Chains A and B, each alone.
Chain A
Amino acid sequence: MAEQVKKRIWERLFKWCKSLAGLTVIATVVIALLATIDRGGYVLVNTIITGGMTALVAMGLALTLGVLNIPMFAHGEYFMIGTLTAYYVFTPISTYVNTHPESALVFWGPLITVVAAMIVGALAGVISEVLVFSQLRKRSRENWVMNSFLLTVGLSVVLINAHQLFFGADFKGITRYWAGMPITVMDVYISRDRAMAFVLAAVVVAAFWFFMTYTRTGRAIRAVAQDETGALIVGIGLNGILLLTMSLSCALAAIAGAGLLFMYPSYPSVGLEPLYMAWFVVILAGLGNVLGAVMGAFMVALLKVLTIEYIGSGWDFVVPSALIIVILIFKPSGIFGSEVRGVLDK
């Protein structure tokens, strides 16, 4: 019995390795290792840290696409809301900590900041769903993808300009979340902030994966993504799930924004770069594929790091864009695009 199970697992693993997804993952790992041997450990470290944060933004984007069918171009603005919240929450905390270096806030301050950003991000998601997307859903079922796409672009413009109007266009940043000496891994110095940003990303991705796989609500979200009518038939209320999904994906973007405030100071259009990165990832991984997005985030991060390393830092958007064009031509469903499709599904 046990041998049979073992054999089956090996068979499945072997089959996966031969699939496009498996080949790409293996190629990514090999290239990352080769580059690390060639140029030193910081290539790997940079890839992992950039990848972790990109994964957060990209997962939210994949979720919005898969469950709500919205090609979200305002996702970067929830990242911006995250940075803004983090700035206004953490600045008073850090002034307090400067005068009281022994207080517990030295440790808890950054965590409180991230949680605050998460809550504000989730609320922003709920507000946009209630005020904007559910209104459109009531009025238009035809051309939904196009209409909602235009709406997200409009929402993005409104949010960017609202930031500029109410908070000004200057850079609102912090120097650091965590004081102390950098950590050394593989002869590379990593600032504590970067290390913690990766830990944060890893914890959130793991928690999110657990939620989507094992909880009743997470399963319901996946069910809605796979078949809306099927979800209705088994008794899942669509409106609640759509609202929850929107707030979850916005909260993920806001967490990423707060986690990276030390690198990206808050200003109106801070969200554009993470938005583009996330779209690269989502197209690479296949639209609406949430777990593929995590893997894709590390691939895009590696690509970016390697481009900066070997070609030049001005090229880090050109090479991923070129790759996206190639993928759209040859494999429009993305590398992890699901091959499992029902006979009757369109």
Chain B
Amino acid sequence: MLLEVKNLNAGYGFLQILRDVSLTVDTGEYVCLVGPNGAGKSTTLKTIAGLVSPMSGEILFNGEPIGSLPGNKVARKGISFVSEEMNLFVNMTVQENLAMGAYTLKDKKLQKDRLDFVYDLFPRLVERRNQLAGTMSGGERKMLAIGRGLMPNPKLLLVDEPSFGLAPLLTENVFQSLDTLVSQGVTIMVVEQNVTKTLAVTDRGYVLENGRIGLSGKSSDLACDAHVRKVFLGV
């Protein structure tokens, strides 16, 4: 098992958001975490990425506990987090942002390979390589954020709200590139509010409600589930 989360409780200060969340991600899988606003989806990803420290519970990555590590150490273990706000370096160029993504890679040759890989995946970024990240459109920033996440050749890519604030056509683009990545063997865990779309493309899913895992199973099964259809799809 690549990632194993056991009975995770987490939150901000005195406010507990996650209650006994357990989930697993296997190598090569494309897993989604769906749920209504405020269910704790983003908090789950942030806790795994080491940006929020857990109150109790275990997070195992390749069998190794990473729950108590800060974000930079988690990143060095091979988990890349693409946050909802993207957290780009807005006063750096696209190329510099990608170079920062490879901060943990010491090998120059490998850095170059990864850069080519990302430019291959998002040809748009090549055109914009000398532009400041802060001056780009929402879709391009999302591509850049995912690209930066891919630079260190992560074992697990966590993507928070890939469609957030994007026009439908761009959302489609971003999902297509995630598909391409999965077909190339990258393990991805994605959090989304666009439930229909997400369940259509992912392998497996978890439904988070009020900080607890309500349902889990194959995405195609979840999409047909009566409860999911009633709550999220309104049918």
Contacts and interface: CB of A to CB of B under 8 A. Distances in A.
30 contacts: A219-B99, A223-B89, A223-B103, A226-B90, A226-B92, A227-B87, A227-B88, A229-B85, A229-B87, A230-B88, A230-B89, A232-B70, A232-B71, A232-B72, A233-B51, A233-B71, A234-B103, A234-B104, A235-B76, A235-B103, A235-B152, A236-B72, A237-B70, A238-B72, A340-B135, A341-B90, A342-B86, A342-B88, A344-B165, A345-B134
A345 B92 CA distance: 14
A181 to B, nearest CB: 47
A340 B91 contact: yes
B80 interface: yes
Nearest to B138: A343
B164 to A, nearest CB: 9
Interface string B57-99: 0000000000000111101100011010111111110001001
Contact of B100 (A229, A234, A341): A234
Contacts of B81: 233
B72 A226 contact: no
B49 interface: yes
Contacts of B49: 233
Contacts of B87: 227, 229-230, 233
Q: Name, among B90, B135, B149, B165, the residue most crowded by chain A CB atoms within 10 Å (CB to CB).
A: B90
B90 A340 contact: yes
A6 to B, nearest CB: 15
B135 A216 contact: no
B70 to A, nearest CB: 7
Interface of B: 49-51, 70-73, 75-76, 80-81, 83, 85-92, 96, 99-101, 103-104, 132-135, 138, 141, 148-149, 151-152, 165
Shortest 3 CB-CB distances between A and B: which pairs?
A230-B87, A232-B71, A235-B75
Contact of A216 (B50, B75, B103): B103
A222 B90 contact: no
A237 B50 CA distance: 12
Given A219-B99, A222-B89, A232 B75 contact: yes
Interface residues of A, number: 24
A220 B75 CA distance: 15
A143 to B, nearest CB: 15
Contacts of B152: 234-235
A226 B76 contact: no
A216 B96 CA distance: 11
A36 interface: no
Contacts of B100: 219-220, 223, 230-231, 234
A223 to B, nearest CB: 5
A341 B101 CA distance: 20
Contacts of A340: 90-91, 132, 134-135
B103 A220 contact: yes
A237 B72 contact: yes
A228 to B, nearest CB: 8
A346 to B, nearest CB: 10
A338 interface: yes
Contact of B148 (A220, A226, A234, A338): A234
A226 B89 contact: yes
